[in-house]
Structure 1
Amino acid sequence: MSQDKKGGIKRRDFLKIIGVAGGTAAVTAGCSNPAEQLIPYVIPPEGIIPGVPNFYASTCRECPAGCGIVVKNREGRAIKVEGNPKNPINMGGSCAEAQAMLQGLYNPDRIRSPLLRNDLGRLEPLGWDQAQKTLADKIQAVRSKGGSGKIVFLSDHIEGTLGNLISDWMSALGGQHLTYEVYSYEPLKEANRIVFGIDKIPTYNIDKTKYLLSFGADFLETWLSPTLYSRQFSEMHSYKDGSLGKFVYVDPRAGLTGVN
């Protein structure tokens, strides 16, 4: 940088420095996060202490296994999901789907309101009040023509209180509740009923076996409850009794279970 005879900075160089500094500040400001308002609670809701998280026990619905989870909540916002150590299915463990469920909850492209298909076949958002009225009118129109059997509630597999509520509602309307699952275990349930007389999906104590033979049952990745069977499989492969259980897997695909 050029200097005058007295050791100072020339006016032209000084203006160059100011221009570069100003441009840098403008670029930095343009790349920063948008300003947000921080509004504190005047009167916090009951049960909420700002800065102190609350934990709620719940059930994961990312797959039919229904593992127990604990949701960490800060100021009414869920921020973390972990397995519930007191749940007999997963005993504190959690899979990748459970860890990623918050991504679906806060996905900006998620469905935020009821949708109604227009005459062009496109889905358009609908207000909740209008959606309830439209649904009630459609149900009433079908029932008035004696077509109650055409009323169908289609969903994935739902159990517990919500499942009972849906079943009672469909029974009152004369309709039916149809469920769809990507991984259907009805054949397994029927086989259990025929062989053992128990009309339920069976569970297996893999941790207590010495020789495990699996024909396409990818229990470490998709089959029944991967979190439960992953834990049991690791116990089967331990030397807790002085021996190591043997595992044979028969399947054309080398999935996660096959490579183990």
Structure 2
Amino acid sequence: MQSKYVQKIVLVLALSALVGVFFLFDLGQYLSLDYIKDSQQRFQTLYVEKTAKVIAVYMVVYILVTSLSLPGAAIMTLAGGALFGLVVGTVVVSFASTIGATLACFVSRFVLQDWVQRRFGQRLDTINQGIAREGAFYLFTLRLVPLFPFWMINLVMGLTRMKLRTFFWVSQVGMLPGTLVYVNAGRELGRIDSLGGILSPGLIFSFVLLGTFPLATKKIMAWYRARQNKPTIVT
């Protein structure tokens, strides 16, 4: 028991140090759209020369950003589209974001679950009952309809009894449509080289998807739930 307590302290200190370094050295400036745009040509040249290394470094940075719940995941997703294209970008971002989310979920569970269970056990039981009743669909709905921030879902789910492998595959599937939309938007943003490019049909379509995706998925999920709750008529 004491060993686990020491492990928690060490983990918290290590994570705090990483977050502190991020803000102390203003590393967030490298996760801005302006920086990505300014460095796009250099990154693309490096990607052509050292494809595997660039993908590996990108994934490590993305995993660190998401696992530490740092700001910049959305910008990195756009950057993935601009750098890797739609297909490779979607695959790379999908796995990096899911791995990072799962690590954040694990850290939340390892560090906070015991304390939260003791302090808010009854309230947490309601969430656990919802997961037990609806299974993976509960998380899938949260992932598909972005009502809550990405990082919040990771941390809250870490306090539940959902298995990490279930969290992983449901998150991967649930986040895939949104990942596609953002990567495609990044791919189009990467093609802008003049003011006229802002009005390109592809870019306009990407932003239309970004704006309508949450509403569309919400309507679809509401329709599906209504169908599930519809009483069966026996003749």
Fold-level similarity (TM above 0.5): no
- Higher RCO (C-alpha under 8 Å, 6+ residues apart): 2
TM superposition score normalised by structure 1? 0.20
Could you say which structure has the larger radius of gyration? 1
Higher helix share: 2
TM superposition score normalised by structure 2? 0.21
